């Protein structure tokens, strides 16, 4: 326990240093470039403070988060199901895996033109693009983990008379959870990138990506940098705080 | 439950593992299968568990073909068979939950059985937090909780040190005497076979055939097996181990250059 606390402090310190260096690099760039190209860090922080007071900011944030939630959530559920089923079916596993690897190499944002026409201008194409980005790493990690579940764990469950469903729920699912979480964190990165880019392109109703794109269009560099700041901070908070916490909760047995 | 093996042969591709195995194991009998590693005795055990099937011949339990696993015939594995994501009590209770028994009841029973294998107080530990011996105690509790009619043991204490192994053999012996299941024990430890079994079947190398059948009868035994010294010598000789140097055998069947001396009477 003492060890994990110490490493926790160390990694927190590493984060603080990294953030300071990044902000410093930004500030150095701002000193060399004119203000209309690159704003000072304090100016952007001031704008951020103003934004945090405005209801429009929260409307955009809410829209983005619900798209992320819907797309990422759907991807996790379907990825876990496909991964578990695919991982246990020897006959289709290799084909399924090859298919995923091929489809995964297409940047999910590339689907936007197709989905815009197919689904119309609205939330749905953005959500689907987010889901596609998150689905493949989830399914692939669960499928790989399912394949390598220890034989003795499966045999033991069969000997105890487990049904197929009990086997999935009580043996396969917990056995693949460590890899699932790694896959889900990877999937979150993909989902987040897909969300911001899709919002920038589709530009349907308020959202973080749209707000960023709009600032660019009106050459409001302070707005651009403020939006980038928000996007960076949110991603770090979701990944490092929320997902890490869920990971520690689910894998509690490994940390004891 | 009576187990009848009738002309059992098992091949994996070209490889013949078991040839024409015949025996009948009576209700409540304790039979040990002893032989060199890889000779197919574990395969026989897995057949009784319903995890594997004979290539030819028939295997019946109380006259019914054994074709699939059933909680009536439970198997204790060598190690790593507990689920690392569950505490000891959850691992034991799972055996009843898989039979759709009430969760509270399963937990109560699991607590009772952990007590019987002297693990009271360790209910909420995870397997990696306790010793190998305690994990195997837990595995025994998980096997006995379902009140199996046939208990199959696949080198259950093979990964433990000599002292822990002897303690666990006593725990197992007591449990068997109280619960009276039919027992098939696969072991490479001749002393374990002599201590626990009513009958010992000595197997040859692949393809496995029975070299000798030794009837010990159901007599009370202690870890002092000096009364069985001659039988022990015979068994070791059958397994190709030199017994001239009296009781200090440390040779192993598949001697490797840096083979560490194993316990007396043990064959690799």
Q: Could you tell me which residues come within 8 angstroms of residue A58 by beta carbon, excluding any fewer than 6 positions away?
A: none
Whether B260 is in a domain gets the answer no
CB of B122 less than 8 A from some CB of A: no
Q: Which of B147, B180, B195 is at the close of a domain?
A: B147
**Residue B226 belongs to domain spanning:** 1-72+150-237
**How many Å is the Cα radius of gyration of chain B?**
18
Long-range contacts of A231-237 (CB under 8 A, 24+ apart): A231/A192, A231/A196, A234/A208, A235/A189, A235/A192
- Chain A residues within 8 A of B77 when measuring between CB atoms: 152, 155-156
Average pLDDT, chain B: 83
Q: How confident is the model at residue B242 (pLDDT cuts 50, 70, 90)?
A: low
Query: Residue range B249-268: average pLDDT?
Result: 42
How far apart are the C-alpha atoms of A183 and A138, rounded to whole Å?
5
List all residues 6 or more positions away from A86 whose beta carbon is below 8 Å from its beta carbon: A92, A93, A96, A97, A139, A143, A146
Percent of chain B residues topping a pLDDT of 70: 88
Q: Does one domain contain both B53 and B102?
A: no
Question: Which residues of chain A have a pLDDT value below 50?
Answer: 1-3
- The reply to whether residue B69 touches residue A161, judged by beta carbons under 8 angstroms, is yes
Residue B219 has pLDDT above 80, yes or no: no
Say if CB B35 and CB B203 are below 8 A apart: yes
Q: With an 8 Å Cβ cutoff, is A166 touching chain B?
A: yes
Find out whether B150 and B1 touch, Cβ atoms under 8 Å: yes
> Is B249 among the domain residues?
no
Q: How close, in Å, is residue A166 to chain B by CA atoms?
A: 7
CB nearest A256 (choices: B99, B129, B142) = B129
With contact defined as beta carbons under 8 Å apart, do A75 and A135 qualify? yes
Nearest to B70 by CA among B106, B95, B90, B43: B95
Adjacency order of strands within the sheet including B199-203: B73-76, B150-154, B182-187, B30-34, B199-203, B210-215
pLDDT score of B243:
62
Residue of B nearest to A253 (CA): B85
Identify whether residues B98 and B67 lie together within a single domain: no
Task: Please give the average per-residue pLDDT across B116-137, as a whole number.
Answer: 92
Provide CATH code, domain A60-254. 1.10.3720.10
* DSSP state letter for A242: I
Establish if B166 belongs to a structural domain.
yes
| Contact with chain A for residue B106, Cβ under 8 A | no
Structure tokens at B133: 């011996």
Same domain, B52 and B165: yes
Q: Which residues contact B216 (CB under 8 A, 6 or more apart)?
A: B194, B197, B198, B199, B200, B228, B231
Query: Token pair 């937990």 is at which residue?
Result: B107
| Total domains present in chain B | 2
Q: What is the DSSP letter of A168?
A: I
Residue at B20 is within a domain: yes
Q: Is the pLDDT at B264 greater than 50, yes or no?
A: no
B92 with B181, same domain? Answer: no
pLDDT at B257 over 50: no
pLDDT at A4: 52
Average pLDDT over residues B115-129: 92
- Could you tell me if residue B251 is inside a domain? no
| Residue A61: predicted pLDDT | 93
Angle separating helix axes A112-119 and A123-147, nearest 10 degrees = 120
Asked if residue B206 belongs to a domain, the reply is yes
Q: What is the pLDDT of residues B167-186, one digit of tens each?
A: 999 999 999 988 899 999 99
What is the layout of strands, in order, in the sheet containing B56-61? B15-25, B3-12, B56-61, B64-65
Is the Cβ of A158 closer than 8 Å to some Cβ of chain B? yes
Query: What Å distances lie between residue B226 and B161, B223, B236, B249, CA to CA?
Result: 21, 9, 15, 15
Mutate which: B83, B96, B130, vs A, most A CBs within 10 A: B83
Q: Is residue B11 part of a domain?
A: yes
Q: Tell me the average pLDDT across B16-40.
A: 86
pLDDT of amino acid B22: 87
For residue A101 the two structure tokens come to 């690897």
Q: Which of B155, B198, B154, B158 is nearest to B176 (CA)?
A: B198
Instruction: Please name the residues in contact with B227: beta carbons below 8 A apart, sequence gap of 6 or more.
Output: none
CATH number assigned to the domain comprising residue B65: 3.40.50.300
Mean predicted confidence (pLDDT) in B94-98? 93
What pLDDT does residue B195 have?
87
Residue B255, pLDDT > 60, answer no
* Confidence (pLDDT) at B154: 92
* Integer Cα distance of A214 and A219 in angstroms: 9
Asked whether residue B9 is assigned to any structural domain, the reply reads yes
Residue B81 DSSP code: -
- Whether the CB-CB separation of A111 and A132 falls below 8 Å is answered with yes
Provide the CB-side half-sphere exposure for B149 (13 A, CA): 12
Q: Which whole number is the average pLDDT over B62-66?
A: 85
What phi and psi, each to the nearest 5 degrees, are found at residue B249? -65, 125
Q: Is B129 in contact with A157 (Cβ distance < 8 A)?
A: no
């Amino acid at each position: 326990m003492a060890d994990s606390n110490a490493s926790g402090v160390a990694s927190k310190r590493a984060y603080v240093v990294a953030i300071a260096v990044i902000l410093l690099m930004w500030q150095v760039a701002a000193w060399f470039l004119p203000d209309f190209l690159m704003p000072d860090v304090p100016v952007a922080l001031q704008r951020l403070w103003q934004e945090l007071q405005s209801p429009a900011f929260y409307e955009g944030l809410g829209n983005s988060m619900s798209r992320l939630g819907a797309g990422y959530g759907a991807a996790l559920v379907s990825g876990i199901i496909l991964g578990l089923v695919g991982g246990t079916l020897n006959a289709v596993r290799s084909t399924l895996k090859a298919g995923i690897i091929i489809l995964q190499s297409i940047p999910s944002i590339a689907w936007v033109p197709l989905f815009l026409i197919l689904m119309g201008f609205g939330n749905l194409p953005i959500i689907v693009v987010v889901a596609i980005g998150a689905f493949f790493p989830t399914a692939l990690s669960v499928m790989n983990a399912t394949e390598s579940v220890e034989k003795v764990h499966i045999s033991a469950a069969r000997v105890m008379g487990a049904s197929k469903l009990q086997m999935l729920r009580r043996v396969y699912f917990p056995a693949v959870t460590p890899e699932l979480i790694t896959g889900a964190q990877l999937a979150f990165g993909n989902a987040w990138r897909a969300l911001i880019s899709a919002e920038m392109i589709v530009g349907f109703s308020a959202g973080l990506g749209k707000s960023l794109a709009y600032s660019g269009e009106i050459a409001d560099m302070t707005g651009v940098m403020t939006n980038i700041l928000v996007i960076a901070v949110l991603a770090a908070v979701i990944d490092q705080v929320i997902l890490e916490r869920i990971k520690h909760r689910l894998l509690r047995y490994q940390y004891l | 439950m009576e187990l009848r093996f009738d002309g059992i042969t098992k091949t994996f591709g070209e490889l013949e593992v078991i040839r024409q195995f015949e025996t009948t194991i009576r209700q409540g009998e304790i039979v040990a299968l002893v032989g060199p590693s890889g000779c197919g005795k574990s395969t026989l055990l897995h057949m009784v568990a319903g995890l594997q099937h004979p290539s030819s011949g028939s295997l019946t339990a109380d006259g019914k073909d054994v074709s699939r696993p059933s909680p009536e015939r439970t198997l204790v594995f060598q190690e790593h068979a507990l689920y690392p994501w569950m505490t000891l009590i959850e691992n034991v209770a799972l055996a009843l939950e898989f039979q759709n028994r009430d969760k509270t009841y399963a937990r109560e029973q699991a607590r009772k059985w952990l007590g019987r294998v002297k693990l009271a107080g360790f209910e909420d530990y995870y397997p990696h937090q306790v010793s190998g011996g305690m994990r195997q105690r837990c595995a025994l509790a998980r096997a006995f909780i379902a009140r199996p009619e046939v208990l199959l043991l696949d080198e259950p204490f093979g990964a433990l040190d000599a002292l822990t192994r002897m303690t666990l053999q006593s725990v197992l012996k007591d449990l068997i005497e109280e619960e009276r299941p039919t027992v098939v024990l696969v072991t490479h430890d001749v002393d374990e076979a002599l201590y626990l079994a009513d009958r010992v079947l000595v197997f040859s190398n692949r393809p496995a055939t029975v070299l000798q059948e030794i009837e010990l009868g159901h007599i009370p035994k202690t870890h002092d097996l000096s009364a069985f010294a001659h039988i022990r010598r015979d068994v070791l000789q059958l397994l190709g181990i030199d017994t001239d140097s009296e009781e200090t055998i440390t040779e192993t069947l598949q001697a490797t250059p840096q083979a560490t001396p194993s316990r007396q009477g043990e064959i690799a």
